[in-house]
A and B are shown apart, each in its own frame.
Chain A
């Protein structure tokens, strides 16, 4: 069994690793945040170090192709953290998300390529810098493995940075599978296209409510999109209309997670489950994890963000 000390040693000994470089840079530029993420990465398990090394190497190549380096990504990440801090302050003062409408989010973020590119790099790095993001990715990989061989047509909605699509393609393969990625933001699609770097994917810029497809999908992934809309039940119903009768869907959404473009506030997991049921889905398997290693009681008291993930199918 790996102890806290073992993992700390792994972190400190791998001085030349990209992970360590990134953590060191974050600690220098934002010590309190560096402390938080380093603490949360303790006890994460040996597999993380292998998988994160692969990811950060892939990320380094990706940004190199853009004429940039990993420090560009770290700057984007810290910029995102700075913006999130403003939103968190507002959230803890008022108990509400500041962004009230889709139009507001669209104007400030999705239709602004510069903001979106920086945001996508920040979010992409967070997948391996935040314990709870990484654990949800592991859960996703487990679910995708469970449907291997059953998927001919795959859709990702709000593909963002492209990491989930990239993982799905690695597991399911690319032979005889149609991959589609729909996102409202041109900036986001550009990042995903370059990160996934596979010609088998068809990228389509749509508001998902305006998107349709004659032949329905076997599997749809929609990570962290429900909180970006005013009516999450309507979004899941739309998703259901794109799915084959026996198709499966993987969704994630956070609670108490203020961000510049988060509109719908889920305060706890039961509220999310209620939305899933209202939209005509049943839960096959779900997983929830708080962003901090605290008891459920303290997490609720301090409104610690939680990520909820589920494999769902139509009732």
Chain B
């Protein structure tokens, strides 16, 4: 799986959780770029991502992720570690 594959799946998760059909994420997207991405929906997004990819983030990771790319790479690292 590539980071672009993860990004595509992230996009659908963001659409589902935030209920906004026209979201188009890039790896550089931050909460400033997505209207309803705030501190509460951030946690809802993270937990939805965890369930989708069957991974678990640490609380420090959840707190410190600043953009979509960091989160996508975080997922990729965890998936790689699972298959290693």
Contacts and interface: CB of A to CB of B under 8 A. Distances in A.
A64 B37 CA distance: 36
B23 interface: no
A291 interface: yes
Given A85-B62, A89-B46, A93-B47, A35 B19 contact: no
Contact of A32 (B17, B39, B47): B39
Interface in B29-59: 31-32, 37-44, 46-47, 50, 59
B63 A39 contact: no
Given A33-B38, A36-B40, A85-B62, A92 B47 contact: yes
Contacts of A292: 40
Given A86-B59, A302-B17, A35 B31 contact: yes
A85 B32 CA distance: 20
B58 to A, nearest CB: 10
A122 B38 CA distance: 19
A36 B47 contact: no
Contacts of B46: 89
Contacts of B50: 93
Given A31-B31, A33-B38, A35-B31, A85 B43 contact: yes
B69 to A, nearest CB: 16
A86 B57 CA distance: 12
Interface of A: 30-33, 35-36, 39, 81-82, 85-86, 88-89, 92-93, 291-292, 298, 302, 304
Interface of B: 17, 19, 31-32, 37-44, 46-47, 50, 59, 62-63
20 contacts: A31-B32, A32-B31, A32-B39, A33-B39, A35-B31, A35-B32, A35-B38, A36-B38, A36-B40, A81-B39, A85-B43, A85-B62, A85-B63, A88-B43, A89-B47, A92-B43, A92-B44, A292-B40, A302-B41, A302-B44
Top 5 nearest A-B pairs by Cβ distance?
A36-B38, A33-B39, A92-B47, A32-B39, A36-B39
